[in-house]
Structure 1
């Protein structure tokens, strides 16, 4: 409890435990010692009165004599009995109330998932361990970073849905505590555990939902990328590790776009893992057609940040890029587009089926028309269309760039001037940048991620 020191001496003498002469404004003892007297202001200090209070109330009788009328006294006793029944859990098991609150928070987290990710109930059944299975399994050893991340998201979601500013502020406070615990655990051997990665992903998800965090999620996403790379592909092949990777991979692609670099998921050791695991899941997955299509689309989508970065590098380069290099890049994009176009045709054919026979593409037992409707509503369909649109925009940009360079080269030859440097035209750069941004906007909308703002194309003058 809070107490006030009873001594009237200056704080220096009180701390030294000597008698103060109490001369004002400065005591003579401090002046003689040649030090500055801190004065006589008295400050609060904390004193532990736990044992004294316990002994005091143990000695007091449970029922004190009272002059309260019998009727009022009976009402008070009834209320006291009800109160004792309410807190009986704390009497016999002090941690029971906290555990119940924790369970309630975990179930509220399910409401958050269903609200922000409507398709969660569909694909969660296709995983070895889904988010709710993982959260419900967490016991007393659950890291504080994960606990506060779950609380922050659940409380913030509740505040948004109910329009409760107090709950939103409370969610932000919980997010701050989660970040502190995450920063601590990252310095320990537990940094590479599934629980740590889960906490990082949930806190990153909070940053995307809370507008007050602005673009902090981009930096956070970079940290998650380093964390996943340190864990390696093998840690994301099975169980909750795979669920975590699938949950956050769209944002990893978006972060690669923002940074203007290739996505690490494009590397063979990561992409081959996705293909092999998809084949294994399809053996027991009743939605195998859509599952395989989604994985195939993502495996092609993950190449797009690299295509975007290479296109920007060619446009910004101060040296003329060899036509062979440009042709090689266009060839890769054309290959991706061809594979996705064939898949798009297959999906379109399935979605237009209107017979009442059982679909051969799925083991769901749905009629073909029901299956067609199910396929048409899948997020992978809009993603596929957006990836195709982005590839078209990038190839148009390269075509415009080559046409512009050819005109400049022809003019230089006519003037008898030969140069290896690539002249920049600001109007062309603006047009090229607009084309690429148009494709990025469609892509980010389909990925259900914050809008991707492309890095402006630089010119020699700007550098």
Structure 2
């Protein structure tokens, strides 16, 4: 049987189990959170009527009235019907299994779009105008669905996992794992083919597989392996490929996770190299001139990104310093401080822009911000990036203190205010070791790197927050205790 959900709210409100005012074209909840409302179309779902019918037939008498006679043929037919209804598979699946499978495949493009809208409510909505003429990331994926086996399997495993999330059906989760396994095998074959390895389809497919792993976590680090493949494919295509078309779409769709992968592996992110910094500057100049309410933020937004992407390299270089009095330590400290200082100014500017935008939404028209500054903002790509920049400032301040002081003083708490880290104002006489000793003995943690909440506590839109924070969601440096001498 086919049924529809009883709730008439929009898809996102039903997913979040919250009240929906059903206003059109967008409900109040979606407008409040700055996300695109997915609409009120209620999807059909299949319900197994076998148990209900079986119970009904068990209660049904064989004959009618008190004078009904027992008919041996009727009893035989009734028993046979009960056996048929009692089977686990549906009638459609028993009569024509291929029909059910084909119907599911035909629904994949729509299900994938719904997955993107639900899982990434800010990343693609607030950056849609940046993709250039043509299709957005989900549009491009859907447009090319049905072309190649590995591509279709990559889409299907994500769509099935999203459907399993909605229905809580373990069979759909198992089906998604099967599709994921098929996609892995087919993608490996495509990577060995020189012609296919340079195709746009393969780059998109590997990105989708990484999305799947970040959601499902078949193994803790599998998403990192997929990120390595994305990195190699992007480098193979070259920087110019990402200025337009599919390359531009893939760059915006995956660059936050490239930063996260670099942090996880303890390596610099290639997006911080000069060529890719030029790419970011070019995209900044182009997109800041476009007609969109979000283009207002682009100049500051991209400039912050260009500084954040340097952080993985700073962390690696700091770990390799063996003496704070070496020329390498001094040069690194200068670079760290320059990025720290830029981010301080940029975050102040972005915070003021967000506050002004909030005032305009409330009907307060002013050329400058007046009044108390809000402590937080509705989650949008700019506000999530602001949180990432604040985390980065704290990390850079601590790195700078370590590079300019031979030991870490636990009692002092670095301040993020002012033009110079406050921890530099105190001088101590300390002991050093040739290898650096406890000086650079620290751990870097962040949510995508394994410190995420338990699955049952994690929101389905968690990856959207990771993306908006450029992989720095929950990032912090944890130091081991250092011994101060003198």
Both structures adopt the same fold (TM-score exceeding 0.5): yes
Which one is further off, 347-356 or 386-395? 347-356
- State whether residues 153 and 182 of structure 2, in contact with CA within 8 Å, keep that contact through their aligned partners in structure 1: yes
Change (3 A) 1:208 1:330: same
Greater RCO (CA < 8 Å, at least 6 residues apart): 2
* SS state at 1:249 partner: helix
1:408 and 2:450 equivalent?
no
Give 2:227's aligned residue. Answer: 221
1:258 Cα shift? 2.1
- State whether residues 301 and 385 of structure 2, in contact with CA within 8 Å, keep that contact through their aligned partners in structure 1: yes
User: After superposition, what is the alpha-carbon deviation per residue over 1:146-205, rounded to whole angstroms, capped at 9, x for unaligned?
Assistant: 110110001011112221111111101100000111101111111111110000010011
1:313 and 2:320 equivalent?
yes
* TM-score (structure 2 length as normaliser): 0.61
Alignment match of 2:182 (pick from 147, 172, 177): 177
User: After superposition, what is the alpha-carbon deviation per residue over 1:184-239, rounded to whole angstroms, capped at 9, x for unaligned?
Assistant: 11111111111100000100111111133321111221122111111111111111
- State whether residues 333 and 404 of structure 2, in contact with CA within 8 Å, keep that contact through their aligned partners in structure 1: no
Alignment match of 1:104 (pick from 97, 107, 112): 107
Give 2:41's aligned residue. Answer: none
1:344-359 map, 5 Å:
344-353=347-356, 354=359, 356=363
| Structure 1: unaligned runs, 5 residues or longer | 1-67, 73-86, 88-94, 362-368, 410-420, 458-463
Give 2:442's aligned residue. Answer: 433
1:292 and 2:299 equivalent?
yes
- State whether residues 137 and 253 of structure 2, in contact with CA within 8 Å, keep that contact through their aligned partners in structure 1: no
| Structure 1: distance between partners of 2:429 and 2:227 | 41
- State whether residues 143 and 196 of structure 1, in contact with CA within 8 Å, keep that contact through their aligned partners in structure 2: no
* RMSD of Structure 2 on Structure 1 (CA): 3.9
1:425 Cα shift? 4.0
- Higher normalized helix content (fraction of residues): 1
1:124 and 2:128 equivalent?
yes
Change (3 A) 1:201 1:455: farther
1:233 and 2:234 equivalent?
no
1:342 and 2:349 equivalent?
no
Give 1:201's aligned residue. Answer: 207
* TM-score (structure 1 length as normaliser): 0.64
Give 1:191's aligned residue. Answer: 197
User: After superposition, what is the alpha-carbon deviation per residue over 1:49-76, rounded to whole angstroms, capped at 9, x for unaligned?
Assistant: xxxxxxxxxxxxxxxxxxx99xx9xxxx
- State whether residues 221 and 252 of structure 1, in contact with CA within 8 Å, keep that contact through their aligned partners in structure 2: yes
User: Larger C-alpha radius of gyration, 1 or 2?
Assistant: 1
| Structure 2: unaligned runs, 5 residues or longer | 1-72, 78-91, 93-97, 369-373, 410-427, 453-464, 481-486
1:117-156 map, 5 Å:
117-119=120-122, 120-128=124-132, 129-138=135-144, 140=146, 142-156=147-161
Change (3 A) 1:264 1:214: same
Give 1:397's aligned residue. Answer: 402
1:358 Cα shift? 5.5
Give 1:265's aligned residue. Answer: 271
Change (3 A) 1:359 1:384: farther
Number of equivalenced pairs: 343
| Structure 1: distance between partners of 2:120 and 2:380 | 17
Alignment match of 2:310 (pick from 303, 306, 328): 303
Give 1:279's aligned residue. Answer: 285
1:331 Cα shift? 1.2
| Structure 1: distance between partners of 2:180 and 2:121 | 24
1:100 Cα shift? 6.1
Which one is further off, 257-266 or 97-106? 97-106
User: After superposition, what is the alpha-carbon deviation per residue over 1:372-395, rounded to whole angstroms, capped at 9, x for unaligned?
Assistant: 868797321211211112212222
| Structure 1: distance between partners of 2:228 and 2:318 | 22
* SS state at 2:434 partner: coil
* SS state at 1:308 partner: helix
1:157 and 2:169 equivalent?
no
| Structure 2: distance between partners of 1:213 and 1:438 | 17
